[in-house]
């Protein structure tokens, strides 16, 4: 295993049900950086995040700060890595506050006395994601976007130095997309937290990420700064649609545009309502 600090993955491969999901993927994420995992549906983004967070085993090796994830207990892993997966429905009648409070579990038992410091930490996390007015609302009654923000608040309470998120701005409107991405960016800049997240919006990735990893059919086809990865020819090949990249002097000024199909996908002659 490499002695590099940060998050290091070497030669990751994953096969499920006889289907190859990831092939020989190696990445290194420096501490305090925001890294976006990009690629079309089915490229292997979610699977890669599960391997990088220790949620799934595979061929290859993953280490955080030089320590193999496979050597850490579940509680030790939770103290080091906070994970926000895509929103799933829940049948439990628990409030948003209880969901966010679960971020304390790596540090204390579920029945442990909650201290004023804990209360302050939970309140700050909930306020940071804009849900202060929803504290006592049942989690299952929240919108998809609100549930996503609640899970991010829980991750903040967990206080892990590595934060891994699967589509964290999915279901969010434009305002909260930028609010959450700005929050993650500030966590990296001000607290040194390392953030790794999958994203669909290439322009938001260019604006908020320090590094990008582009996956296609389970393979890592590019890794580097946004201006290095977001190349028109490469994106056209990966996403199977004509692409133009407008690049200003800064990565934040980049703009990726995909051209609409020039010919119809279906032959609708003879179809009538």
How many CB atoms sit inside 10 A of residue 91's CB?
A: 5
Q: Shortest CA distance to 172 belongs to which of 201, 141, 207? A: 201
* C-beta of residue 251 within 8 angstroms of C-beta of residue 225: yes
What gap in Å lies between CA 59 and CA 10, rounded to an integer?
Answer: 9
Q: What is the pLDDT of residues 32-67, one digit of tens each?
A: 999 999 999 999 999 999 999 999 888 999 999 999
pLDDT for residue 250 is more than 70: no
Q: What pLDDT was estimated at residue 273?
A: 58
Domains of the chain: 7-226 (3.40.50.300)
CA distances from 44 to 8, 217, 253 (A): 18, 7, 28
Backbone angles phi, psi at 4, to 5 degrees: -60, 145
* C-beta of residue 97 within 8 angstroms of C-beta of residue 135: yes
What pTM was estimated for this model as a whole?
0.89
pLDDT band at 92 (very low <50, low <70, confident <90, very high): low
Q: What is the pLDDT of residues 128-170, one digit of tens each?
A: 999 999 999 999 898 888 988 999 999 999 999 999 999 999 8
């Amino acid at each position: 295993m490499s002695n590099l600090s940060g998050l290091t993955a070497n030669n990751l491969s994953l096969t499920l049900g006889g289907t190859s999901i990831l092939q020989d993927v190696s990445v290194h994420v420096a501490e305090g950086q925001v890294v976006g995992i990009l690629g079309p549906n089915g490229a292997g983004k979610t699977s890669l995040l599960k391997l990088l967070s220790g949620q799934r085993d595979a061929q290859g090796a993953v280490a955080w700060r030089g320590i193999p994830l496979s050597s850490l207990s579940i509680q030790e892993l939770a103290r080091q890595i906070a994970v926000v997966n895509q929103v799933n429905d829940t049948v439990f009648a628990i409030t948003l506050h209880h969901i966010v409070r679960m971020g304390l579990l790596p540090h204390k038992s579920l029945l442990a006395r909650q201290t004023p410091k804990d209360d302050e930490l939970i309140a700050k996390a909930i306020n940071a994601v804009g849900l202060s007015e929803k504290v006592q609302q049942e989690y299952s009654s929240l919108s998809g976007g609100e549930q996503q923000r609640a899970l991010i608040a829980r991750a903040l309470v967990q206080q892990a130095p590595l934060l891994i998120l699967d589509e964290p701005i999915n279901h969010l409107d434009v305002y909260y997309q930028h609010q959450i991405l700005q929050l993650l960016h500030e966590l990296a800049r001000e607290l040194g937290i390392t953030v790794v997240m999958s994203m669909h919006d290439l322009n938001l990735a260019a604006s908020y990420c320090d590094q990008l990893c582009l996956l296609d059919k389970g393979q890592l086809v590019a890794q580097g700064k946004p201006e290095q990865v977001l190349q028109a020819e490469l994106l056209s090949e990966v996403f199977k649609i004509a692409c133009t990249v407008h690049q200003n002097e800064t990565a934040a000024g980049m703009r990726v545009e995909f051209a609409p199909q020039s010919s119809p996908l279906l032959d609708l002659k003879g179809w009538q309502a």
